[in-house]
Structure 1
Amino acid sequence: MRRIAVIGAGTMGNGIAHVFAQNGFKVHLIDVSQDALNKGIDTISSNLDRMLAKEKISVAEKETTLSNITSFTELEEGVLTTDLVVEAATENEALKLKIFKQLDEYCDANTILATNTSSISITKIAAATKRPEKVIGMHFMNPVPIMALVEIIRGYSTSDTTTQSIMDLSEKLGKIPTEVNDYPGFVANRILMPMINEAIETVHHGVAGVQEIDRVMKLGMAHPMGPLQLADFIGLDVCLSILNVMYNGFKNSKYAPSPLLVNMVTAGKMGVKSGEGFYDYTNSRKAEKISAQFEKNYK
Structure 2
Amino acid sequence: MAEILVEPIEGYALSKDKKKGTTLFSKIGVIGCGKEGQSIARIAGWHGMEVVFLELSEENIERAISNIGKELDNRIENWGLTAGEKKAIMSRINGTLDYKDLADCDFVIEAIRSESNISFRSIEERKEVFRKVEEIVREDTIIATNSTTIIITELASEMKKPDRCISLHFFVASPEAKIIEVVKGLYTSEEVYNKVYTFVKLINRDVIPVEESAGLVSVRLYVTLLNEACQVLMEGIASLPDIDKTMNVGLGMRFGPFRTADIIGLNKISKWMDNLYEEFGNSKYKPSPMIKRLVRAKRLGKQTGEGFYKYNENGDIILE
| TM-score, normalised by the number of residues in structure 2 | 0.84
The question of 1:245 aligning with 2:275 is answered yes
Show the counterpart of 1:296: none
Which of 205, 218, 230 is matched with 1:175 structurally? 205
Show the counterpart of 1:36: 60
Displacement of 1:263 after TM fit? 2.2
Displacement of 1:89 after TM fit? 0.3
Q: Evaluate the alpha carbon distance shift between residue 213 and residue 106 of structure 1 in structure 2; reply closer, same or farther with a 3 A threshold.
A: same
CA distance in 2, matches of 1:128, 1:201: 42
- The answer for unaligned runs of 5 or more in structure 1 is 291-299
CA distance in 1, matches of 2:79, 2:211: 39
Which of 170, 178, 188 is matched with 2:218 structurally? 188
Show the counterpart of 2:15: none
The question of 1:161 aligning with 2:184 is answered no
CA distance in 1, matches of 2:174, 2:58: 22
Show the counterpart of 2:85: 61
Amino acid at match of 2:313: S
Which of 87, 93, 96 is matched with 2:122 structurally? 93
Which of 101, 105, 117 is matched with 1:82 structurally? 105
Cα RMSD, aligned residues only: 1.7
Show the counterpart of 2:10: none
Which of 275, 284, 291 is matched with 2:313 structurally? 284
Displacement of 1:275 after TM fit? 1.0
Aligned length: 286
Show the counterpart of 1:235: 265
Displacement of 1:93 after TM fit? 2.9
1:47 is paired with a residue whose SS is: helix
Displacement of 1:50 after TM fit? 2.1
Displacement of 1:284 after TM fit? 1.0
Displacement of 1:137 after TM fit? 0.9
Show the counterpart of 1:271: 301
Q: Evaluate the alpha carbon distance shift between residue 192 and residue 165 of structure 1 in structure 2; reply closer, same or farther with a 3 A threshold.
A: same
Whether contact under 8 Å (1:18, 1:145) holds in the other structure is: no
Amino acid at match of 1:23: H
Whether contact under 8 Å (2:33, 2:113) holds in the other structure is: no
Whether contact under 8 Å (2:173, 2:263) holds in the other structure is: no
1:133-190: CA deviation from partner (whole Å, max 9, x where unpaired)? 1111121011565221111111111111111100111111111121111101011111
CA distance in 1, matches of 2:57, 2:174: 22
Show the counterpart of 1:125: 155
Displacement of 1:28 after TM fit? 0.5
Select the structure of larger CA radius of gyration.
2
Displacement of 1:60 after TM fit? 2.3
Whether contact under 8 Å (2:36, 2:113) holds in the other structure is: no
Deviating 4+ runs (over 3 angstroms): 204-208
